[in-house]
Chain A
Amino acid sequence: MNQKEKHSYLDGLLHGIISLLTGMKTTITVFFRKKTTEQYPENRATLKMFDRFRGTLTMPHNEQNEHRCVACGLCQMACPNDTIQVISKTIETEDGKKKKILDKYEYDLGSCIFCQLCVNACPHDAITFDQDFEHAVFDRSKLVMTLNHPGSHVVEKKS
């Protein structure tokens, strides 16, 4: 209302026409722009999801089959849905110290709500979400995944 009172009749008319034309210019540029629609099943080979897309929780491993998880369990505590089970075991190192290491990192995709709280909670950036979203399986038990690869161990600190 305030803006209306500022303009006189002709001034407001001109102002209105100009703003309408601005709107029409915007839409006509969108009209000729490349369309954003993804034709999903056909473009499966080339489909690229955006960076922040949350597909499946994964634990990246390097070439030596090493991950960065220290089995602290913060992700398990952060999870609102009890999706993550960090199963640790205690071993004795060469110099006689006791150390807790990761035995099994279980992740139930079926109850995950993709809130990313676990990734945010992780102090070592051991887990992350990847771009894979084709999750359909015939049995719910197949959705329970073990994220650490068999035979993997944690990255040794360089110190």
Chain B
Amino acid sequence: MFDFSIITHWIHQALTSLMPEGLAILIECVVIGVCIILMYALLAIVLIYMERKICAFFQCRLGPNRVGKWGTIQVICDVLKMLTKEIIDLKHSDRFLYNLAPFMVIIASFLTFACLPMSKGLEVLDFNVGVFFLLAASSIGVIGILLAGWGSNNKFSLIGAMRSGAQIISYELSIGLSILTMVVLMGTMQISEIVAQQADGWFIFKGHIPAVIAFIIYLIAGNAETNRGPFDLPEAESELTAGYHTEYSGMHFGFFYLAEYLNMFIVAGIAATIFLGGWMPFHIVGLDGFNAVMDYIPGFIWFFGKAFFVVFLLMWIKWTFPRLRIDQILNLEWKYLVPISMVNLILMVLIVVLKLHF
């Protein structure tokens, strides 16, 4: 497996030999920031295209197919259109909060995105409480959504934001509990360490029954966290026009839109990292030839393959089930997911204590 830290170390040494260390680190930070933003935008384009195609296929349609071969340039055109649109100012809105909200959402999304381990040696934020940081950073987004609803001076926006707040705060619990279940098995919160431990088998196989339950609960709760799928009440089109981003236009709306898709990718990426082994290739014990072939596939392909597989699962859920009512959403969370994940946590502790895992 190719180690990207060789390249990053080489760049760091080359820079420090030319200039003082502080300046070198500053330049590296800026370059990494630009890389993350570029990758963020690129992934958003890929995800929006994927969403439109997959949605179409689930509805027995073809989806965008006019602009470019198979409609591949469609989303790029949409992005260009979005960039040229005017950002409107509202009367009687809280101007500061109104303008701040999309940036809160996108910053939360960026911070979480930076935690994902793309390949060996390609982790941007990697420290000993990585998983904890990730959960904390992803929760900042809800503040942005609440601010957007509050700042717009619009009843629909406020109702959407309130729903979103209620929903995200409740589902944070089952996300936390399902990840905690895995932390019990992993014994570490450092993301690079988590991936390294899965070299001899992904955690979903190592932790068998409780890991699978945690994976399913994580997917459901993650879908709710991103305000997608059957849990898209905050922007329920038929009731609230567009929920908390009703009053936004141009690139401010674009930020919410980007953040929604990237949050989905982040949920999928975390699922891939914690349950499906991150950038670790798929190995079967005993089949050395097969394992060697799998090792030749670079790590980032493994990571993106797994993440996009989970994205597909999330889209499959989204385009299958109708939207839930708010009481049904809270019912599902408090009566089913939380008790099940608590029992699951105990089960996992028992399995780890009795060494029943692989």
Contacts and interface: CB of A to CB of B under 8 A. Distances in A.
Interface string B130-165: 000000000000000000000000000000000000
A20 interface: yes
B257 interface: no
A24 interface: yes
Interface in A1-52: 13, 20, 23-24, 26-28, 30-31, 33, 35-37, 39
B60 A27 contact: no
A35 B336 contact: no
A28 B57 CA distance: 9
**Residues of A contacting B: mostly:** helix
B59 A30 contact: yes
Interface string B319-358: 1110000000000000010000000000000000000000
A20 to B, nearest CB: 7
B58 A27 contact: yes
B316 A30 contact: no
Nearest to A13: B336
Contacts of B317: 24
A35 B320 contact: no
Nearest to A32: B57
Contacts of A31: 54, 57-58, 316
20 contacts: A23-B320, A24-B316, A24-B317, A24-B320, A26-B320, A27-B316, A27-B320, A30-B57, A30-B58, A30-B59, A30-B60, A31-B54, A31-B57, A33-B60, A35-B56, A35-B60, A35-B61, A36-B60, A37-B62, A39-B62
A92 to B, nearest CB: 61
A35 B321 CA distance: 21
Contacts of B321: 20, 23
Contacts of B336: 13
Contacts of B320: 23-24, 26-27
A35 B62 CA distance: 6
A39 B321 CA distance: 28
Interface of A: 13, 20, 23-24, 26-28, 30-31, 33, 35-37, 39
Nearest to B62: A37
Q: Which 4 A-B pairs have the closest CB atoms?
A: A37-B62, A27-B320, A31-B57, A23-B320
A100 to B, nearest CB: 52
Contacts of A36: 60-61
Nearest to B336: A13
B14 to A, nearest CB: 49
A20 B336 CA distance: 15
Contact of A37 (B58, B61, B316): B61
Given A35-B62, A37-B60, 4 more contacts: A23-B320, A31-B54, A35-B56, A37-B61
Contacts of A35: 56-57, 60-62
Contact of A28 (B59, B60, B65, B316): B316
Contacts of B61: 35-37
Nearest to A38: B62
A11 to B, nearest CB: 13
A27 B316 CA distance: 8
Nearest to A25: B320
A109 B57 CA distance: 37
A28 B319 CA distance: 10
A69 B319 CA distance: 52
A117 B177 CA distance: 65
Contacts of A20: 321
Nearest to A17: B216
B63 to A, nearest CB: 9
Contacts of A24: 316-317, 320
Interface string B53-74: 0101111111001000000000
A27 B60 CA distance: 9
A23 B61 CA distance: 18
Interface in B292-335: 316-317, 319-321
A20 B219 CA distance: 14
